[in-house]
Amino acid sequence: MPKTDYTDQEISFPRLEARVHKTDDDAFHMRIWIWDRPGDGGSGERREIMNGKRAGSYADITDMIYACAREHSVAVGPDDNTIDDH
């Protein structure tokens, strides 16, 4: 789970959250959401913008996450990302 507390009104929003799980030697399953405002996720504060398998290395996936944040003009940091590469 990300270390960011998305209920904290002191952090900047909108904000990107990414969860990545390695599925093959050269592929990952990625889910990415954008949090438009603080909330618990149960009442629609986040919207999913990606859910699928992507090929690449750990570095490629990290670059994709930050490129996605730039594309959508949202904040993102290391504590917003959960990457399981095992």
The pLDDT mean for the chain works out to: 89
pLDDT of residue 2: 67
Domain covering 15-84: architecture: 2-Layer Sandwich (3.30)
- Distances in Å between the alpha carbon of 66 and those of 7, 44, 52? 22, 23, 17
Alpha-carbon distance of 60 to 43, in angstroms, equals: 32
pLDDT of residue 42: 54
pLDDT tens across 44-76, in order?
A: 578 999 999 999 998 999 999 999 999 999 999
| Burial of 13: CB neighbours in 10 Å, binned 0-12, 13-18, 19+ | middle
Alpha-carbon distance of 12 to 58, in angstroms, equals: 26
pLDDT of residue 26: 87
Of 45 and 80, the one with more pLDDT: 80
* Mean of pLDDT values over 6-33: 92
